[in-house]
Amino acid sequence: MKKLRAFLIMLAVAIVAFAALSCCAKPHTHKAEYVPAAQPNCSSEGSSGYYYCAGCGKYFSDQDCTKEIGIQEAVLPKNYDHDWGEWRQTTAGDCTHAGERARECKRCGKKETQTEPAEHTLLYHGGKQPTCTQAGYEPYLRCSTCGALFTQTDRLPISQPPVLPAAHKPVLQAQVPSTCSAAGRKEHYACSACGKLFADETCTREVSADELALPLEAHTFNSEHVCSACFAPDHTYYTPGLEFGLWDRKMSLTGLGEARGDIVVQPYYDGVPVTAVAARAAAETGEEHTLTSVTLPASVTAIGDSAFSGCTALTDVVLPSGLKSISKSAFANCGITGIALPEGLESLGIGAFSGSALTEITLPGGLTSVPARLFENCAALKKVTLPSGMQSVASTFIAGSDVNELVLNGSGKFRVESGCLLQNGTPNSVLIVGVNSAVIPDKVSEIKPYAFAGRTQITSLVIPSTVKEIGERAFSNCPALSNMTVEGGFSYYMHGGCLIEMDSMPANAQEKLLFACHTGGAADLSALEHLTSVEAYAFENANVTEVILPDCIKEVGEFAFAGCAASGVTIGAGITNIGYHAFENCSLTIKFNGTRETWDFHAGRFATGWNPEDLTVECLQ
């Protein structure tokens, strides 16, 4: 019985197992629904993005349901990612009481609160630096609500800003020893803030700069009478009060200041060598002439324009051996009767000694150029020694000077012969100047302007036939020149005591009257048929009684009769021009060989300045 029961049970189990196996063997088709990926939050689960088959309750990562995954991979559990709202103040705080605020999750409604600690609202306040006499304070913080004060760095409470006491800032100043040109000073302290000076580091005893000053050391003067250390001049030797400054980029004597009489110029100024005398540095005008002598230092190499002009009381000048240039009019109208020019002198300016009282002068041998008017109107000048190296010379260098002797020691370009300075030439020479005893040599082709001007002792001259050109005013202001002879030729001739220049074109001859000798008689030129002009200065200071010009005269040059002694001048009706100052300083009668109407017509076009009020015009027709 028991065995049968066991068999039946086993049979039943077998039947059930077979039935089950028969059922599973039937194939299952998944019908998966996609669940999109979503983040979990505080109120809902999330998804990793999966497929779910409701038929079998399984989860898959692909649409074909071939990759099964567990629920833990598919479904993301809820978390605490709340969607919080804005904080809202629930209890207000202040500097001493804490406050509170709260917020709520927009999804789940969960709430949370925070405590706001008590806190001051601090504002920065800058400090104030102390001065030497007023205290300052450090920067600090101040609560804008309760006004409490705090330190800037540690924010510790304080009753007032930290004080910075007033104090000087002493800096040690070492002692500076004195020299002969600068005072030294004692050791002291100087406040770097206010600049005050103190004798001690604690700045309790204030002192002045005068109290700290040390006395100057004494100068040590050398053989040049200047300090060996600072070049200061010894004013027991050099003249004090002279004025110095830069002129033409050189340290120069620029003025005499209050100095008068005998002047000795120092070689240094402010330690810089004095190398020049500036233009007009010692020039004198008016009636006060107080400079009597000048000694220049060895450092001076240049003397400027008109530096000593007008110093009529200046009789003694000592020039340095290193002097290189003397500019124009430097010693014009000075009282010097003699001066030693250094051998190294390289240049002289126009009129450098014009109008001076020189009686004799020697130009240094190395000088190559003798400029115009160098010794012009030096009435006392009698002898001039010219430089052996001379390469050029102006014919006006002694114009207006009464020179008796010229000396030239060797020169290939020039020579002195019979009182005349000649420029050598082939075949003929050029006469540059002649002195009082001059005789014009044969074979002179040209007489330069002003060649004999101002020679008071010349009484007669013979002009060789070789002369083809005579320059302007070659014989002006020769008051004793009463006789002149021209030895034939085709350029010049004499008539009525006057030198006439012939025209090179005889068919249309226009002759010029160049110079009138001081004959003391009449100059009758009425017979000349081709004389058309009286040149400038022709009758200047002429000693004649009367001048009769031909009717063919067209022009009278400027200053033509200036200072003439004639009582009358006859002018033809053909005159068309009378030059500026033609009758200056004259008292004569102009006899016009024409009608009053013709004179008045021409006179309106004549140059002015010839003192017509001193003249009488007599019309002869």
The pLDDT tens digits of the residues spanning 236-287 come to 899 999 999 999 899 999 999 989 899 999 999 988 999 999 999 999 876 6
What is the token pair recorded at 71? 């629920």
Q: Is 444 part of any domain?
A: no
Q: How far apart are CA 511 and CA 505, in angstroms?
A: 10
The answer on 195 and 160 residing in a single domain is no
Residues 191 and 205 grouped into a single domain: yes
- Give the tokens for residue 621: 């027709």
Structural domain boundaries, residue 200: 170-212
Higher pLDDT, 110 or 382: 382
Residue 287 belongs to some domain of the structure: no
Q: Which residues touch 486 (CB under 8 Å, ≥6 apart)?
A: 462, 463, 465, 492, 493, 494, 499
Say if residue 542 is in the same domain as residue 528: yes
Are 553 and 529 contacting, i.e. CB atoms less than 8 angstroms apart? Answer: no
What single-letter amino acid sits at 187? E
Q: Which residues pair with 189 in a beta bridge?
A: 172, 198
Q: Which residue has the higher pLDDT, 386 or 81?
A: 386
Cα separation, 271 vs 289, in Å, equals: 31
d(CA 319, CA 323): 7
Report yes or no on 532 lying in a domain.
yes
Question: How confident is residue 611, by pLDDT bands cut at 50, 70 and 90?
Answer: low
pLDDT, mean of residues 61-79 = 84
Residues 6+ apart with CB under 8 A from 215: 178, 183
Residue 315 lies in a domain: no
Phi, psi (deg, nearest 5) at residue 449 = -55, 140
Do residues 69 and 140 share a domain?
Answer: no
Identify whether 612 is part of a domain.
yes
Q: Is the dihedral of CA 217, 222, 224, 225 positive or negative?
A: positive
| Residue 206 contacts residue 230 (beta carbons within 8 Å) | no
For residues 197 and 168, the answer to whether their CB atoms sit within 8 Å is no
In this structure, are 604 and 495 located in the same domain?
Answer: yes
- Is residue 113 domain-shared with residue 142, that is, in the same domain? no
Mind listing the pLDDT tens digit for each residue in 296-319? 999 999 999 999 999 999 999 999
Residues facing residue 443 across a β-bridge: none
277 found inside a domain = no
Half-sphere exposure of 451 (CA within 13 A, CB side): 25
Output the CA torsion 362→363→366→371 (10° steps). Answer: -160
For 364, half-sphere exposure in the C-beta direction (CA atoms, 13 angstrom radius) is 18
The pLDDT score that the predictor gives to residue 5 is 63
Which residues lie below 8 Å from residue 195, measured CB to CB, with a gap of 6+? none
Q: How many Cβ atoms from other residues are within 10 Å of residue 287's Cβ?
A: 6
Angle (nearest 5°) at CA 513 between 511 and 514? 125
| Count, residues in the chain | 621
DSSP state of 434: E
Whether residue 620 contacts residue 594, with contact meaning beta carbons closer than 8 Å, is answered with yes
Residues 57 and 135 both lie in one domain: no
Task: Tell me the three state secondary structure of residue 73.
Answer: helix
3-state DSSP percent of the chain in helix, strand and coil, to 5: 5, 30, 60
Higher pLDDT: 285 or 33? It is 33
pLDDT of amino acid 11:
67
Stretch 521-550: mean pLDDT = 95
Q: How far apart are the C-alpha atoms of 614 and 348, rounded to whole Å? A: 42
Is 60 exceeded by the pLDDT of residue 165?
A: yes
User: Average of pLDDT values for 309-331?
Assistant: 96
Query: Do 519 and 559 sit in the same domain of this protein?
Result: yes
Question: pLDDT above 90 covers what percent of the chain?
Answer: 51
Alpha-carbon distances of 210 from 93, 178, 265, rounded to whole Å: 68, 14, 33
Same domain for 499 and 579, yes or no, is yes
Does 55 lie in the same domain as 137?
A: no
Cβ count within 10 A of residue 248? 11
Report residue 351 as tokens: 């009129």
CATH number at residue 576: 3.80.10.10
Mean of the pLDDT values across residues 468-493?
93
Q: Is residue 459 part of a domain?
A: no
State whether 153 and 198 are in the same domain: no
- Model confidence pLDDT, tens digit, residues 564-575: 999 999 999 889
User: Residue 460 belongs to what H/E stretch?
Assistant: strand 460-463
The reply to whether 39 and 69 lie within a common domain is: yes
* Domain finish residue from 164, 179, 194: 164
Whether 479 maps to a domain, the answer reads: no
Would you call 171 helix, strand, or coil by DSSP?
strand
Radius of gyration of the chain (CA): 61
Number of compact structural domains in the chain: 4
